[in-house]
């Protein structure tokens, strides 16, 4: 049974991706590892999921939709209308087919990194947040997201809710549809008994 591969070992499989996307994958991998260490989550699984989270991000919307259908993935009407939302589930399926030695937890973290989901694991929360914490090409966070880094150090649940609140406001202001998993994730996090057990004494 092979061990968990390191990001550097799987990187050659995705060398064809645009360089700015590879740079994002590497930064999110590093951020995921750091945040995982902060919260007692397996940093190697987080680094691998962080590296793989956007491997389908460069694909065209029609291609994502076709692949999702071919893979037999469930397609929500919101995803049908906004196929870019399928890059997590499609990427997870591609990673599952290409990477041996990783557990289901890694692929779930890839699947749900855009929307979050109710019942999400701490590894899923770590990768979700690390993705949003990468300032990207602009080098700064969008207005309103600045506290996210500090919040992610203080508690995973509250940081994920903070981001989902921010995203929901953006979508509502634009009159956009909202992915049901994001709404269900937010409700689940708010209703979870006793909140996040992984909350720092700050
Ligand atoms: Fe993504
Ligand atoms: Fe990303």
pLDDT digits 0-9 by tens, 93-138: 999 999 999 999 999 999 999 999 999 999 999 999 999 999 876 7
Report how far ligand 1's centroid is from the alpha carbon of 6 (Å): 20
Report how far ligand 1's centroid is from the alpha carbon of 91 (Å): 9
CB 164 within 8 A of CB 117: no
Give the position of tokens 């690390």. Answer: 130
Report how far ligand 2's centroid is from the alpha carbon of 53 (Å): 6
**pLDDT computed for residue 137 by the predictor:** 64
Q: Which ligand is nearest to the CA of 31?
A: 2
Report how far ligand 2's centroid is from the alpha carbon of 78 (Å): 19
CB 99 within 8 A of CB 10: yes
**pLDDT computed for residue 136 by the predictor:** 75
- Which residues of the chain register pLDDT less than 50? 1, 201-202
Report how far ligand 1's centroid is from the alpha carbon of 114 (Å): 6
Report how far ligand 2's centroid is from the alpha carbon of 110 (Å): 10
**pLDDT computed for residue 196 by the predictor:** 57
Q: Which CATH superfamily is domain 7-143 in?
A: Hypothetical protein af1432 (1.10.3210.10)
Report how far ligand 2's centroid is from the alpha carbon of 145 (Å): 16
Report how far ligand 1's centroid is from the alpha carbon of 198 (Å): 25
**pLDDT computed for residue 1 by the predictor:** 44
Ligand 1 (ion): residues with CB under 5 Å are 54
**pLDDT computed for residue 202 by the predictor:** 44
**pLDDT computed for residue 198 by the predictor:** 56
CB 177 within 8 A of CB 78: yes
Helix segments in 54-155, DSSP class H = 61-70, 77-81, 87-98, 104-111, 122-133, 148-154
């Amino acid at each position: 049974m092979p061990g968990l591969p390191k990001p550097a070992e799987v990187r050659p499989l995705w060398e064809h991706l645009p360089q700015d996307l590879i740079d994002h994958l590497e930064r999110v991998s590093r951020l995921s590892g750091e945040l995982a260490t902060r919260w007692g989550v397996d940093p190697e699984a987080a680094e691998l999921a962080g590296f793989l989270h956007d491997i389908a991000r460069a694909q065209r919307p029609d291609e994502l939709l076709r692949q999702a259908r071919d893979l037999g993935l469930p397609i929500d009407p919101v995803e049908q209308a906004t196929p870019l939302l399928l890059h997590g589930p499609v990427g997870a399926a591609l990673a599952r087919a290409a990477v041996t030695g990783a557990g289901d937890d890694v692929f779930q973290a890839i699947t749900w990194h855009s929307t979050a989901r109710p019942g999400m694991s701490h590894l899923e929360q770590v990768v979700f947040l690390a993705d949003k914490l990468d300032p990207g090409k602009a080098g700064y966070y969008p207005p309103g997201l600045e506290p996210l880094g500090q919040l992610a150090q203080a508690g995973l649940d509250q940081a994920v809710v903070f981001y989902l609140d921010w995203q929901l406001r953006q979508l509502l202001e634009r009159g956009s549809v909202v992915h049901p998993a994001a709404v269900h994730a937010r409700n689940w996090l708010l209703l979870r008994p006793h909140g996040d057990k992984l909350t720092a004494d700050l």
